Amino acid sequence: MSLAAVWRRASFAILIGASALLPGSAGAADSIVTDANLVTGLDISDSVSAEYLRLELEGMAHAISSPEFLAAVQAGQSGRIGFAVFAWHHNQFPQVVSWTLIASEQDARTVARAIEARLLVDVEGEGRRSEVFYAGRLTDLSQAIDHAALMLQTAPYAARRAVINIIGNGEDNVGEDAQAARDRAVEKGIIVNGVVLGTDPAMLDYYRREIVGGPGAFVMWASNIAVMSDVMARKFQSDIVLDMRTDAATELNH
């Protein structure tokens, strides 16, 4: 099935599910409800070059600005999602976009500009700022997943779905394996998806085994800005739209 056909089939098939909402912060269910809360973690460990950092940020900014993404958001029961982005390496989680609602074209543009602004940040300097002993930017995937899960549990909006997107290009090299953190997130009802930077088949397999989990979870890869923009646009659409998760999972991996 072509990607266009997958999107046409799925574009208005939104997951409503049971009436129960996934937890956010206290009182969230009494105020604002979203169709999904999405949190994305961007790898800024030592394995991520300046080129890959730009790939992550520009690709995501372009994706958020795409009309297909906005159409998916507005087709939901609530017509809005909660959205947040953080960067990560061992013991560091600099904020890229704090929790915000996306419901309109203006919302999407504001988020895209906030992401693009991070291209001006000195990542190495940011990593050293609060470290007494700085051992480098280690690839702590388990810590990144746990941090993302905590963000979802304390989000200011109640949600019908909760999704973590982990973007990176290396295996966990600190502490426990990433799989344990992935399992903890899935037990809380969170779906964990992944995007691999580059085209290493071994890394794709690692993400499939250790990172992604939950109903319809999948991993994709991207190696340049054009591909990353397209991948992230379809990635966010599939976080919101039901049928695309399972039918497109295999196709999007190639």
Contact 101, 80 (CB under 8 A): yes
Give the pLDDT score at 55. 81
pLDDT band of residue 154 (cuts 50, 70, 90) is very high
In a domain, residue 65? The reply is: yes
Averaged confidence pLDDT in the chain = 78
What is the pLDDT at residue 129? 60
| Residue 151 lies inside a defined structural domain of this protein | yes
What tens digit of pLDDT does each residue of 159-184 get? Answer: 989 999 999 888 878 878 899 999 99
pLDDT at residue 248, rounded to an integer? 34
Q: 131 falls in which pLDDT band (50, 70, 90)?
A: low
Residue 1 lies in a domain: no
Residue at 92 is within a domain: yes
Q: Is residue 69 part of a domain?
A: yes
DSSP helix/strand/coil, 97: strand
Range of the domain at 176: 34-122+136-252
pLDDT above 70: residue 39? yes
- Confidence (pLDDT) at 247: 33
Q: What are the pLDDT digits (tens) for 45-71?
A: 877 777 877 888 888 898 999 998 999
Tell which phi-psi region holds residue 129, choosing left (phi > 0), alpha (psi between -120 and 50) or beta. Answer: alpha
Please indicate, yes or no, if residue 130 is contained in any of the structural domains: no
45 domain-assigned: yes
**Torsion sign, CA atoms 40, 164, 143, 199:** negative
User: Model confidence over 205-245: pLDDT tens digits?
Assistant: 999 999 999 998 989 888 777 788 888 888 888 888 754 44
**195 pLDDT more than 80:** yes
Confidence at residue 128, expressed as pLDDT on a 0 to 100 scale: 56
CATH number, domain of 90, equals 3.40.50.410
pLDDT on residue 19:
32
Q: Is 7 within the bounds of a domain?
A: no
pTM over 0.95: no
- Per-residue pLDDT at 91: 73
The tally of domains found in the chain comes to 1
